[in-house]
């Protein structure tokens, strides 16, 4: 029987991929401490806040790997500590963020904003630094979904975002809804639209972020084009419903993102099935599995499904989208989507060179 020693255990974990970058833990100084003897192994691994949602899964996989290597060992303890790796600055807007994710769809009303906001909340609850940009300047709904109001103040030439208390780092949120009185129509011309989006990105005091989640307006590619011109996006999440028409629209949305060189991170199927609040029975109102099949056909990851649930609509209307995580019939679905999304990003990071960071102009 092999008795583990610190050097062998360290070597065993050296190639384990960091859940943020996909690169070897051993190469990034993330194997912080290793104790090993005949009875027990204890390792301390440093992970970044970007990977916060993957901490439990990573801990479990490391433990599994150690147990597989030393089947006779008594105790295996894997402790995760914070590993600091600040973001660089992205694009001509100089945004300090590691991952910028657009949430879009081809069609209106499929639940983009609900999914975008819920992804942001899930990542923030886990401990990541997350911001939300509501890029729907025609019909901003993020303030409403989060129960936020007020007018952003200007401090030293920077717009102070409105912050939502969720997770350890209050989440900065920026939306045209904070700047234009509710119900007032604004006519946007192309260049103004581009200006508004770049200004919200550039002049908002976001602070360093792990993720900026962007809630996209329905349909046209104007905003996607603007975004792709001012900063490199990690990619887009496409939301659809199981109906055929919506799937066709989703295919169009995917083509639109691809046209402006924004990679597709995956598809989310919203309103997948109806969960009866009385009996917990599942009804496949629109048929099921459509998005999963389409994702497979298009060779893009399927990130998960969200049931059609009265409580999700109620929480949204009450400005308490956060409460979707306290509900067993919606929380686990959103949590799974966040975990798959973070996993997909790690895989994409390891396959691609790091995003270009430019100095602020």
Residues in contact with Mg ion by CB under 5 A are: 112-113, 141
Residues contacting residue 180 through CB under 8 Å, at least 6 positions apart: 186
Stretch of 7-15, 53-61, 197-205, 307-315 lying at the interface with ligand ATP (CB under 6 A): 307-315
Which residue, 49 or 105, is less far from ligand ATP as judged by CB? Answer: 105
Q: Are 252 and 283 in contact (CB under 8 A)?
A: no
Q: Quick one: which of 84, 170, 55 has its CA closest to 124?
A: 170
Query: Which of 37, 38, 139, 356: binder of ligand ATP (CB under 6 A)?
Result: 139
Which residue, 137 or 355, is less far from ligand ATP as judged by CB? Answer: 137
275 binds ligand ATP (CB under 6 A): no
Query: Which of 49, 58, 141, 228: binder of ligand ATP (CB under 6 A)?
Result: 141
Q: Quick one: which of 2, 4, 17, 1 has its CA closest to 43?
A: 4
Query: Which of 306, 322, 338, 342: binder of ligand ATP (CB under 6 A)?
Result: 306
Residue bearing tokens 């997350």: 130
Q: Quick one: which of 175, 169, 216 has its CA closest to 196?
A: 175
Stretch of 81-89, 136-144, 167-175, 293-301 lying at the interface with ligand ATP (CB under 6 A): 136-144
Element (H, E) at 104: strand 95-104
Which residue, 58 or 141, is less far from Mg ion as judged by CB? Answer: 141
Extract the tokens encoding 79.
Answer: 């402790």
Distance CA 199, CA 232 (A): 16
Q: CB count, 10 Å around CB of 323? A: 17
Min CB(220)–ligand ATP separation in Å: 12
136 binds ligand ATP (CB under 6 A): yes
Which one of Mg ion, ligand ATP, none interacts with residue 110, CB within 5 to 8 A by kind? ligand ATP
Max CA-CA distance within the chain?
Answer: 75
Which residue, 111 or 127, is less far from ligand ATP as judged by CB? Answer: 111
Per CB under 6 A, contacts with ligand ATP among 254-273 are 270-271
Min CB(152)–ligand ATP separation in Å: 21
Min CB(208)–ligand ATP separation in Å: 27
The partner residues of 198 in beta bridges, in order of sequence, read none
Distance CA 98, CA 210 (A): 5
Per CB under 6 A, contacts with ligand ATP among 18-77 are none
How many residues bind ligand ATP, per CB under 6 A?
Answer: 20
Which residue, 139 or 168, is less far from Mg ion as judged by CB? Answer: 139
* Burial grade of 358 (CB within 10 A; 0-12, 13-18, 19 or more): middle
221 binds ligand ATP (CB under 6 A): no
277 binds ligand ATP (CB under 6 A): no
Query: Which of 294, 309, 335, 344: binder of ligand ATP (CB under 6 A)?
Result: 309
Element (H, E) at 335: helix 331-351
Distance CA 210, CA 341 (A): 13
Stretch of 18-26, 135-143, 177-185, 289-297 lying at the interface with ligand ATP (CB under 6 A): 135-143
Q: Quick one: which of 223, 245, 247, 248 has its CA closest to 236?
A: 223
Residue bearing tokens 């966040």: 338
Stretch of 108-116, 190-198, 222-230, 293-301 lying at the interface with ligand ATP (CB under 6 A): 108-116
Q: How many angstroms separate the Cα of 226 from the Cα of each of 121, 200, 204, 233, 354?
A: 25, 12, 17, 11, 22
Which residue, 169 or 315, is less far from ligand ATP as judged by CB? Answer: 315
Hey, what's the torsion of the CAs at 12, 14, 16, 18, to 10 degrees?
160
Which residue, 13 or 162, is less far from Mg ion as judged by CB? Answer: 162
Query: Which of 50, 112, 169, 202: binder of ligand ATP (CB under 6 A)?
Result: 112
332 binds ligand ATP (CB under 6 A): no
> Both ends of the chain: CA-CA distance in Å?
61
Binding positions for ligand ATP, rule: CB under 6 A: 105, 108-114, 136, 139, 141, 218, 270-271, 306, 308-309, 312-313, 316
């Amino acid at each position: 029987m092999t008795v583990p020693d610190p050097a062998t255990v360290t070597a065993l974990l050296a190639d384990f991929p960091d859940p943020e970058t996909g690169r070897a833990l051993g190469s990034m100084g993330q194997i912080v401490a290793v104790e090993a003897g005949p009875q027990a192994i204890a390792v301390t691994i440093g992970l970044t806040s970007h990977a916060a949602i993957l901490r439990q899964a990573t801990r479990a996989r490391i433990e599994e790997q150690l147990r597989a290597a030393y089947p006779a060992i008594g105790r295996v303890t894997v402790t995760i500590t914070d590993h600091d790796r600040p973001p660089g600055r992205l694009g001509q807007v100089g945004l300090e963020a590691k991952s910028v994710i657009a949430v879009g769809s081809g069609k209106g009303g499929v639940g983009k904003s609900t999914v975008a906001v819920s992804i942001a909340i899930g990542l923030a609850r886990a401990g990541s630094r997350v911001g939300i940009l509501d890029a729907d300047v025609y019909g901003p709904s993020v303030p409403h979904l989060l129960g936020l109001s007020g007018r952003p103040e200007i401090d030293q030439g920077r717009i102070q975002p409105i912050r939502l208390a969720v997770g350890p780092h209050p989440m900065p949120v920026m939306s045209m809804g904070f700047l234009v009185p509710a119900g007032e129509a604004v006519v946007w011309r192309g260049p103004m639209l581009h200006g508004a989006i770049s200004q919200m990105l550039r002049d908002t005091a976001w602070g360093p972020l792990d993720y900026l989640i962007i809630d996209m307006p329905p349909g046209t590619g104007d905003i996607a084009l603007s975004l792709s011109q001012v900063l490199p996006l990690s990619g887009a999440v496409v939301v659809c419903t199981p109906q055929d028409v919506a799937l066709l629209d989703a295919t169009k949305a995917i083509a639109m993102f691809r046209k402006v060189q924004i990679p597709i991170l995956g598809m989310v199927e919203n309103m997948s099935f109806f969960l009866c609040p009385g009996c917990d029975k599942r009804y496949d109102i629109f048929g099921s599995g459509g998005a999963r099949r389409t994702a497979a056909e298009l060779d893009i990851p399927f990130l998960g499904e969200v049931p059609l649930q009265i409580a999700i609509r109620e929480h949204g209307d009450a400005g308490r989208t956060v409460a979707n995580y306290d509900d067993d019939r919606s929380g686990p679905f959103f949590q799974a989507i966040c975990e798959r999304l973070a996993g997909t990003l790690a895989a994409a990071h390891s396959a691609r060179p790091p995003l270009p960071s430019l100095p602020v102009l």
